Amino acid sequence: MARQLLLCLLMLAPSLLGCAAARAPQAQMTDKERVEFGQKLEQLMREDEKNFELLNGKMDEYQNLLVLCDSITTGKQEGDIAAACGPGLKAMKKELDELSDLLRGGKQP
């Protein structure tokens, strides 16, 4: 689902740039400026894709840990293990939030 959302956003980027360009005063770009702009855009897209893949992996880890913690019974031996799940889940949730903020254009983690 998240991967499809990113692909949709990446497909919309040229359209959004086209709309922004249509509203801006028509300044002529040189070929060199066009190439530089294209390279910067590709670099940003690669960084976003890398961050998205990282977020996707972390989300999988979080879900696996959540399932593991939910499956632990509340017996004496399992009590210590279950107690350790809470901080692990909180730390991973924080990482997920930071990566989500980064993909939305927020601060760097």
- C-alpha 105: how far from its chain's center? 10
Q: What is the pTM of this model?
A: 0.48
pLDDT at 54 over 80: yes
Give the pLDDT of residue 85.
76
Give the pLDDT of residue 96.
83
- For residue range 9-23, what is the model confidence (pLDDT) as tens digits? 566 566 656 655 555
Rg (CA), the chain: 21
Confidence of residue 56 (pLDDT cuts 50, 70, 90): confident
- For residue range 36-50, what is the model confidence (pLDDT) as tens digits? 999 999 988 888 888
In DSSP notation, 12-55 reads HHHHHHHHHHHHS--PPPPHHHHHHHHHHHHHHHHHHHHHHHHH
Give the pLDDT of residue 60.
87
Give the pLDDT of residue 17.
60
Give the pLDDT of residue 16.
57
- Residue listed under structure tokens 């497909």: 11
- For residue range 69-108, what is the model confidence (pLDDT) as tens digits? 777 765 555 666 667 777 778 888 888 888 888 777 765 5
Q: What DSSP state is assigned to residue 106?
A: -
Burial class (CB in 10 A: 0-12, 13-18, 19+), 99: buried
Contact 98, 109 (CB under 8 A): yes
